Structure 1
Amino acid sequence: MTIEDLLTYITNDKTALFLFFILLPILTIIITAISRGRSLEKPYSYLYSMLLFEVCIPGVLSITLWIYSMFFERKALWQLPFFIYYLPVIIMVLCIYILKKKRVSIRRLPWTGELYEFLVLLIITFASLLIIMKLHIISFNQPWQLGLFALLCLSTLHLLWKRMASLR
C-alpha cells in the first residue's frame, strides 16, 4: 500500500468526512453556549478536552502530510486534495479560535499536557511511517497492517518518552 492508496482509501466517502469536520465547530459552539463561563467545571472541562483531541489530531496529521507532500513528493499546493490537507487544519484553527474567543483557558483544561505530548509523539510516528513507506522498507498491503504498525510505533515511543521523563 502506497501513501496515495491510503489517501484514496480515506477519501472514498467525502460526505462522511465533510460532515465529521463540520460537526466539530458546531459542537464547539453548542458546548460553549451551554457552559456559559463555567469551562473549568467538571463536565465541561472534559468535553472541551475531548473536543481538542478530536480537532488537533487530524489537524496535526494533515499538517505533517502536507509538509511531506510538499518536500518529499514535490507536489504543488493546488494538487493536494482539500478534504485531507486543508479541511482538518481549517477546522482545527476555527475550533481553537472559538474556544479562545469564548475565553476558555485551554492550558487549564485536563489532559492538555498529555495532548501536547501525544501530538509530538504522533508527529514523530507519522513522519517515520511516511519515510518508511516512501523508502519501501516495509510493505503494507492492507490499511489495518499500517494501523497496527503505527500503533506499535506510537506505543513504543510513548514508553520511551515516559522512561526518559522518569530519569530526570
Structure 2
Amino acid sequence: MTLSQLFSYISQHPWPAAFYFILLPFVTWFIGIVATGSKDVKFWSYIYAVLVYAVCIPGVFAVILNIYLFLFERQSIWEANIILQYLPILSMAISLILIKNKIPFKLIPGFGKISGFLTLIAALIGVMWFFDRIRLVAFTYVPFSVILTGFILTLLAIRFAWSKLF
C-alpha cells in the first residue's frame, strides 16, 4: 500500500480518522479534570506523554506533509484534504494547549525529543527548499564528503541556535 492509496482510502472512509482526531482533545480535557488535585505527578506525566505522542506524531506528519505539498508540489490550498491535512494539526494544537495548562512540558518524558525532531525536519525542509529554488551549477573539485559534512554542520548550527532561542 502506498501513501497515496492510504490517503485515498481515508478520504473515502473519513469517519475513523475524524473520530480519532476529534476524540484526542476531549480525552486530554477529561484526563485534565481527573488529574486535577492529584499528587502523583509522575504517573500523570506518563499518561500525558502517551497523549502527546498520540497527537503529535500525526500532527507533525501533517505539518510536514503540508509544507511539502505547498512548497514542492505547489498544491492549491483549495485542494487540501481537511481530514488529513488540517484536522491533525488542529487536534495537536488544542491537545498541547490543554496539556500545557495542566503540566509543564519539561515534566513530560520525551517531549524535548519531539521538538528537537521537528526542528531538525524544519531545518532540513528549509535547506531543501533553498536548494530547490536556486539554479546553481557548480563545477568543483571538492569531494562529496566535504559537502555532506558542511550540510551536517549547518543542521547542527541551526539546532544549536534554535535551542538557544527557546
TM-score, length-normalised on structure 1?
Answer: 0.64
Number of the residue aligned with 1:68? 68
**d(CA) in 2 for partners of 1:113 and 1:119?**
10
Give the counterpart letter for 2:17 in structure 1: L
Number of the residue aligned with 1:22? 22
**d(CA) in 2 for partners of 1:73 and 1:35?**
44
SS in 1 for 2:102: coil
**d(CA) in 2 for partners of 1:38 and 1:9?**
42
**d(CA) in 2 for partners of 1:59 and 1:17?**
12
Cα deviation per residue 1:80-101 (whole Å; 9 max; x = unaligned)? 110010000000001111122x
Give the counterpart letter for 1:43 in structure 2: F
1:50 counterpart = 2:36: no
**d(CA) in 2 for partners of 1:34 and 1:22?**
19
Q: Percent identity?
A: 34
For the Cα contact (< 8 Å) 1:24–1:95, is it kept in 2? yes
**d(CA) in 1 for partners of 2:76 and 2:39?**
41
For the Cα contact (< 8 Å) 2:45–2:103, is it kept in 1? no
Q: 1:69 to 1:2 in 2, by over 3 A?
A: farther
Cα deviation per residue 1:87-136 (whole Å; 9 max; x = unaligned)? 00000001111122x33111121222333345567x48xx7xxxxxxxxx
**d(CA) in 2 for partners of 1:92 and 1:49?**
13
**d(CA) in 2 for partners of 1:23 and 1:39?**
26
Number of aligned residues = 125
Cα deviation per residue 1:139-167 (whole Å; 9 max; x = unaligned)? xxxxxxxxxxxxxxxxxxxxxxxxxxxxx
Q: CA deviation at 1:59?
A: 0.6
**d(CA) in 2 for partners of 1:91 and 1:81?**
15
Q: 1:3 to 1:39 in 2, by over 3 A?
A: farther
Number of the residue aligned with 1:112? 111
Give the counterpart letter for 2:43 in structure 1: P
* Structure with bigger gyration radius: 2
Number of the residue aligned with 1:130? none
RMSD: 2.7
**d(CA) in 1 for partners of 2:80 and 2:22?**
20
Number of the residue aligned with 2:89? 89
Cα deviation per residue 1:56-89 (whole Å; 9 max; x = unaligned)? 1111100111011111211111111100100000
Give the counterpart letter for 1:113 in structure 2: G
**d(CA) in 2 for partners of 1:39 and 1:63?**
35
**d(CA) in 1 for partners of 2:33 and 2:75?**
41
Give the counterpart letter for 2:9 in structure 1: Y
Q: CA deviation at 1:10?
A: 3.5
**Structure 1: which 5+ runs fail to align?**
128-168
Q: CA deviation at 1:38?
A: 3.9
